[in-house]
Amino acid sequence: MSDTTQIILAIIGTGVALLGFLWRLNVRMGAMEHRLNSRIDTLEDRMNSRIDALSSRIDALYQALFNHKDPAA
């Protein structure tokens, strides 16, 4: 095998190895992105639940303060 052929095969092999590395990196990044999006969704759900609970408490307090019927009336 000539030197030129060996150089060409080495370049092709390096290119294939680089493509494999980039493909694996892309797959890992996709998995990390999926986990991150899932975590963000969970945190948003928790935050919305807390906001809803706080809003309900504020509504109940408002009703208790301003819609109180005087028992003497």
**Residue pLDDT tens, the chain, 73 long:** 799 999 999 999 999 999 999 999 999 999 999 999 999 999 999 999 999 999 999 999 999 888 876 666 5
pTM > 0.75: yes or no: no
pLDDT reported for residue 36:
96
CA distances from 39 to 28, 36, 51 (A): 17, 5, 18
What string of DSSP letters covers 12-65? HHHHHHHHHHHHHHHHHHHHHHHHHHHHHHHHHHHHHHHHHHHHHHHHHHHHHH
